[in-house]
Amino acid sequence: MPSDAGATWLEIGAGHGEMTRELAARAARVIAIELDSKLLPGLEQLAVELGNVTIIPGDVLAIDLARLLRETPVHVYGSLPYYITSPILHRLFEHADRLLSISVVVQLEVAVRLCAQPGRRDYGYLSVVTQFYTQPEIALRLPPGAFQPRPKVASALVRMRMPGAGALLGVADEEAFLKLVGRCFEQKRKTLANNLRAHFPASRVAAAIAAVRITPRSRAEELTLVEFAALFHEMLGTTDEHR
């Protein structure tokens, strides 16, 4: 993880404060979010002891992150519950311009998806979104025995540097771009053209695909972010139904 002594860290899920203490030793300030009310008294005591920690009770999916992050950009750390990893990452990406980096422990299967490249089985919508906003890499693989209680699956620490490929793609409307990408992946067994024809006139889809110089039989998992951006710009230029 980055070791910028002047930085602020946002910790998702402070738990008993083990990582909170480690982060506080290397950062100017730590903002630690914790949902479990039973853990808050111990965390508040830790905050008094350390002096540079602020405890925020609540759910990261419900907290007003815009207000929390308005003062300074932050590095993010969290050990994310497997079942809400994707919603939390999407929530963070909404505020990507206020983030310096994201370091998260996630299920290994999810980590592979975040970093997957075009043409790989694990490459999908989550891969594209993550790589649009960040540059992800698996920094460390963690066996089940590294945790207590012991989970049934392996995990990994994924480090995401900002910005991602989106900074170079010239996409003005990120929401519309990601909506189009989501439609491209809507049914993985279908071709890109078939998925898009469910939302746009066939002639417009054909013209955009031809302009980008991909084959009509191409599937979404074969496209690079550059090709997705080119396809988006062609669709944006040929239809008002991109929103």
Average pLDDT estimate for 204-231:
95
Residues of the chain with CATH 3.40.50.150: 8-166
Q: Is the pLDDT of residue 239 over 50?
A: no
| Cα 44 from Cα 54, distance rounded (Å) | 8
The neighbour count for residue 66, using CB atoms within 10 Å, is 10
Please name which of 164, 237, 241 lies closest in space to residue 207, comparing C-alpha atoms: 237
Whether residue 42 is predicted with pLDDT greater than 90 in this model: the reply is: yes
What residue type is assigned to position 41 of the chain? P
Q: Is 176:152 a contact under the CB 8 Å cutoff?
A: no
The least confident of 27-41, 91-105, 207-221, 226-240 is 226-240
Q: Is 101:78 a contact under the CB 8 Å cutoff?
A: no
Q: What are the structure tokens assigned to 234, written together?
A: 């062609």
Could you tell me which of 159, 142, 160 has the C-alpha nearest to residue 151?
Answer: 142
The per-residue pLDDT for 236 is 80
Q: Closest Cα to residue 9, out of 25, 67, 203?
A: 25
Specify the pLDDT at position 21. Answer: 97
Rounded to an integer, the average pLDDT of 25-41 is 97
DSSP 76-119: EEEE--GGGHHHHHHHHHTTGGGEEEEEEEEEHHHHHHHHPPTT
Q: Nearest-CA neighbor of 74 among 8, 135, 11?
A: 8
Q: Using DSSP bridges, classify how beta strands 8-12 and 29-34 pair: parallel, antiparallel or unpaired.
A: parallel
Residue 188: predicted pLDDT: 85
- Does the pLDDT at position 242 exceed 50? no
Does 3.20.20.140 match the CATH number of domain 8-166?
Answer: no
**Average pLDDT of the chain?**
93
Q: Which of 190, 184, 182, 171 is nearest to 236 (CA)?
A: 171
H/E element, 44: helix 40-50
Q: What does the pLDDT read at residue 99?
A: 97
pLDDT at 36 over 50: yes
Provide CATH 1.10.8.100 ranges for the chain: 174-238
pLDDT digits over 113-169, tens only? Answer: 999 999 999 999 999 999 999 999 999 999 988 887 888 899 999 999 999 999 999
Residue with tokens 């993550």: 130
Pick the CATH number of 174-238 from 3.40.50.1980, 2.40.50.100, 3.40.50.2300, 1.10.8.100: 1.10.8.100
Q: Is the pTM of this model over 0.85?
A: yes
Question: Could you tell me the CA-to-CA distances from 29 to 25, 45, 52, 79, 191 in Å, in that order?
Answer: 9, 16, 5, 19, 48
Q: Per mean pLDDT, which range of 82-86, 89-93, 134-138 is the poorest? A: 82-86
